[in-house]
Structure 1
Amino acid sequence: MQALLSFDQAPPLAAPLRFFLTAPLFAILAALLVLWSGPELFASRWTGAALALTHLITVGFMLQVMLGAMVQILPVVAGANISHPRLVATLVHAAIAPGALLLATGFLSYQPLAFWLAALFIGSGVALFIAAAGHALWGVPATNPTIRGLKLSLLGLTVTVCLGVLLALALNGSLALPVMQLTTIHLGWGLVGWSVILLAAVAFVVVPMFQMTPGYPEWFARRFSWSLLALLVVWSVADTTDRRWPSLLLAAITVLAVAVFAALTLHLQSRSKRARFDATQQYWRVAMLSTLAACSLWLAATSWPTLAERPEWPLLCGVLALFGGFMSVMIGMLYKIVPFLVWSHLQNLGRGRAIPPNMNKVIAGPQVHRQMHAHFAALVLLLAAVLWPQWFTYPAGLTLLLANGWLLSNLLAAVAFYRRHRLEIEALTRTPAAVAQAQQ
């Protein structure tokens, strides 16, 4: 897989970085929402505050990180260069960020205009990204599981956003649609058809490379993404046509497939050649354990009526999947992607005449580990808040605020590192000796 990478085709640093720096801001807003709403937030998964919190994380945090990662990954991994990446990233970011805010506002106020504007902004931003990324991937042969997964994830994103736009229009009264049924299908496509498939496509490269593990089995990597997508298509048809038992069976198979991916990743991690796990590996481990727990809880609730009747289980499942699974793995990847981008762009600026500092110095290791521990504490407190909201809601909100404020601080430190060393490199390469050497 390492032979796939072509770092000389990386886009400008500002293209992915704008997404990465915005994501923690939405997580901070999510923490403030927990503090503002209080224990009532955990009364049901259908409260306006719970829905606003969910979309601050999924659209505000997750979508930002995933779009930024794809801007970087497409040219490097797939050789698919987005035309005018800085312009595309600017326009997409300018649409997605206010769209996420409007969507959260809509769930908190149920103002029809907020939902309509959210659908317009998010829909247009994602449509532009899909058009640009699809054009870049057009004609690139799916010669390996990663490229195939990237292509399929774009299809999953398309379905997810189309369903989301329909739901937003239904909530503002423009369309009469079965909202509860569409919400279930929208959730399945968003978490599995877009997020899990993209995560797996990236994992097939980065887990063996950065975590020094054996590669994923070829049979698994080759079949996983399209199998998940096929299951989602058939499940969506069964659910739409009210075929209860086939729908439930297909959903269970899909959840089991996700659990297998998580368990296999943990198994590969156990065979890592690293003597000691770094923060990224710790984040991946917690993410995969949380994913396994979420899948196990979902399967238990669908087969145990007593558990299914309890209102806490969907909230527990959501915290495990979103905060424990996706947020954990994405923060772990940010601590690999951002330092590498900073180091790589500084190296290109130096052109061999000025060597940038070691990549591990871009973000101080102790700061990364402290932020990681704060995130893990926030996860535990959020799980406790679902069960005992009166006791743990405010500690969970404060810890979540601390963890993501720390994340933002660490990423801004990387930007400051880049700017400082860029000035030093530019000053060094402009000296008379350097100019004379360049002219020889």
Structure 2
Amino acid sequence: MQRALDFDKTPALGVPLPFFLNVPLFALLAGLLAAWAGPQAFTSHGNGTALALTHLWTLGILGSAMLGALLQILAVACNVPVGAARVIAGGAHALLTAGTLLLATGFLDWRTDALIGAAALLGVAFALYLAAVAWALWRHRLQVYKGAREILVPVRGALFALAGTVLMGLTMALSLGLGLPLPDWLGPHALWGLTGWGGLLLMGMSFQLLPIFQVTEIYPKPLTRWLPLLIPGLLLAWTALDASAGLPRLMRETVELLLVCAYALWAGVTLHLLWTRKRPTPETTTLFWFAGMLSLLACAPLWIWMTHGHAPRAGMVLGTVIIVGVLGSVANGMLYKIVPFLLWKHAQDAMIVPDRDPGQARIYLKILPKMAAYIDERAARLQWAAHVAVVLCWALAAAGWAPAAKAAGPVLIVSAAGLAWNTGRALRLYRKTLQAMAALPDAHPGLR
């Protein structure tokens, strides 16, 4: 596995950034909806408000973060740039944003026209994105960096899982919209989306990003080789057993147990690597990774509770912990690493130094902020604390505790506002830096 990224292959800022800006926006919307609905949002995973909240999280927050991050990581870590990235990213982002808003509206009012429209927009968004990424993987298959296999294997599995998740989701949305019989695909849809698409993509990124940005040891080779192959196989086996009538329930539960053990193993190894990292002081991103992996370990007893505890709310709690605690924590934390880097990199690329004069370059570097200056570490840690409160509050709300259900929305609004403020501050600093560099040639004629 390579410990370096080719930052010269970084796509244009307008490719991943709009996806990342969706994260605080949709988090605010989810918080407002949860505050408005109150405990009703957590009564059942099948009511309209709960479905709207779920998809604001999975599509608006997590989907946006993961789609944007994948475009970045494929280019710089694998030498797999997506062709016409600005057009693909712009179209997919606009369709995803509009489709998610329309889908949430459709669930809230059970409006059939909104559900059909959302299915059309989201179908085109994901078809465009998946086709572009699949073509890039095929086109650049011979130019992939040596050592990138550990990323590409789970990425391919994640994209396969995303395609299956989208097809099942679109079919169910269209069935609701057209008044057709609803396929019993809610379980497979959630499983493939959370443990296939979300889990595998997160795993693949961790193999590359943690050793580089958190200065950890490299993941054990047997784990990086076999775990990304085992998980899709288990998902396929679970789907086949779930669709087969007359087979013992124990067979499906055994596959589920193996899937839980696979992710618990990855979480345990990741926590060990983070704990023994070479950088002693944890960054905010490190704290988010700890929160995500501890949440993932908590899924094991929650699965046992769901399977053998005869608790009607256990499945809802498990899904909430995966969405908010595992995927939500890591997606939030990665923004504090990726966004400052992108802004710093593109500000640096904006320098115009004639004849590569070191003296003139120093003039630019005096006003070029360091990467750590884009987001205040104290403000980021405060937002991390707010996010931890969100995880606990939403899990307790899903378990049926009324005070937590009432607080779930306001707590998420506070966390989302903190993330929006920190991201906005970074963007303001980037804009001021570009303006200051643009004014330099007038103050220093030698730079013209």
Structure 2: runs of 5+ lacking an equivalent:
354-360
User: Residues 7 and 156 (structure 1 numbering): CA distance in 2 closer, same or farther, change over 3 Å?
Assistant: same
Stretch moving more, 186-195 or 352-361? 352-361
Q: Deviations over 1:163-212 (max 9, x none)?
A: 11111112223543433xx1111111101111111001100011111111
Specify which structure has the bigger relative contact order, considering alpha-carbon pairs within 8 angstroms and separated by 6 or more residues: 2
Kindly provide the amino acid, as one letter, of the partner of residue 111 in structure 1.
R
161, 165, 177: which one pairs with 1:172? 177
Aligned to 2:244: 241
Compute the displacement of 1:88 (Å).
1.1
Aligned to 2:358: none
Stretch moving more, 3-12 or 203-212? 3-12
Q: What is the CA–CA distance in structure 2 between the aligned matches of 1:113 and 1:144, rounded to whole Å?
A: 44
In the alignment, structure 1 residue 78 sits paired with structure 2 residue 83: no
In the alignment, structure 1 residue 433 sits paired with structure 2 residue 443: no
In the alignment, structure 1 residue 345 sits paired with structure 2 residue 328: no
252, 256, 265: which one pairs with 2:270? 265
Asked whether the 8 Å contact 2:164–2:192 carries over to 1, the reply is: yes
What TM-score does the superposition give when structure 2 sets the normalisation length? 0.92
Q: What is the CA–CA distance in structure 1 between the aligned matches of 2:125 and 2:95, rounded to whole Å?
A: 5
Q: Deviations over 1:32-84 (max 9, x none)?
A: 11111111222222222111111110011000000110121111111111112
Kindly provide the amino acid, as one letter, of the partner of residue 86 in structure 1.
R
Q: What is the CA–CA distance in structure 2 between the aligned matches of 1:174 and 1:394, rounded to whole Å?
A: 34
Aligned residues: percent identity? 36
Q: What is the CA–CA distance in structure 2 between the aligned matches of 1:164 and 1:130, rounded to whole Å?
A: 16
Q: Secondary structure of the residue that 1:146 maps to in structure 2? A: helix
Compute the displacement of 1:425 (Å).
1.7
Aligned to 1:17: 17
Q: What is the CA–CA distance in structure 2 between the aligned matches of 1:4 and 1:374, rounded to whole Å?
A: 33
Aligned to 1:274: 279
Q: What is the CA–CA distance in structure 2 between the aligned matches of 1:107 and 1:399, rounded to whole Å?
A: 23
**Structure 2 counterparts to residues 388-403 of structure 1, below 5 A:** 388-403=400-415
In the alignment, structure 1 residue 55 sits paired with structure 2 residue 58: no
Q: What is the CA–CA distance in structure 1 between the aligned matches of 2:383 and 2:303, rounded to whole Å?
A: 29
Kindly provide the amino acid, as one letter, of the partner of residue 43 in structure 2.
A
Q: What is the CA–CA distance in structure 1 between the aligned matches of 2:90 and 2:207, rounded to whole Å?
A: 29
Q: Secondary structure of the residue that 1:126 maps to in structure 2? A: helix
Q: What is the CA–CA distance in structure 1 between the aligned matches of 2:36 and 2:12, rounded to whole Å?
A: 38
Compute the displacement of 1:388 (Å).
5.0
Aligned to 2:314: 313
Q: What is the CA–CA distance in structure 2 between the aligned matches of 1:147 and 1:324, rounded to whole Å?
A: 25
Compute the displacement of 1:300 (Å).
3.2
**Structure 2 counterparts to residues 394-413 of structure 1, below 5 A:** 394-413=406-425
In the alignment, structure 1 residue 146 sits paired with structure 2 residue 151: yes
Structure 1: runs of 5+ lacking an equivalent:
436-440
Asked whether the 8 Å contact 1:78–1:140 carries over to 2, the reply is: no
Q: Deviations over 1:261-291 (max 9, x none)?
A: 1111111111111222111111000110111
Stretch moving more, 24-33 or 60-69? 24-33
Q: How many residues align?
A: 429
Q: Deviations over 1:381-416 (max 9, x none)?
A: 223333454322222211110100110111111111
Q: What is the CA–CA distance in structure 1 between the aligned matches of 2:91 and 2:31, rounded to whole Å?
A: 27
Q: What is the CA–CA distance in structure 1 between the aligned matches of 2:373 and 2:240, rounded to whole Å?
A: 51
What TM-score does the superposition give when structure 1 sets the normalisation length? 0.93
**Structure 2 counterparts to residues 194-273 of structure 1, below 5 A:** 194-242=197-245, 243=247, 244-273=249-278
Asked whether the 8 Å contact 2:214–2:286 carries over to 1, the reply is: yes
Aligned to 1:155: 160
In the alignment, structure 1 residue 357 sits paired with structure 2 residue 369: yes
